[in-house]
Amino acid sequence: MTIPPLPHLAALALGAFGAWTLYRLVMKEKRRVNEELDFVRAANLDDQAQRRTLKRDKDGIYRP
């Protein structure tokens, strides 16, 4: 009794389709998270630009 190759091909096709679907879902989530991080980073850069920085004076003490 021989097993026809069709079930093997169907299993392979289902596995490939599942892997492709999982890849798409992971990439979509990655893009969403990176967009949120970029938004937060941009907000932090704006906050840092508005902050006062400390500078070292001639005595070596940091002052605003």
Which long-range contacts does 51-55 make (Cβ < 8 Å, 24+ apart)? none
- Position 28 scores a pLDDT of 98
H-state helical runs in the chain: 6-50
CA distance 44 to 20: 36
Do 23 and 31 touch, CB atoms closer than 8 A? no
- Position 1 scores a pLDDT of 66
- Position 50 scores a pLDDT of 67
- Of the CA atoms within 13 Å of residue 2, those in its CB half-sphere come to 3
- Position 41 scores a pLDDT of 86
pTM higher than 0.75 for the full model?
no
Ranges of the chain with pLDDT below 50: none
Q: Tell me the pLDDT of the chain averaged across its residues.
A: 85
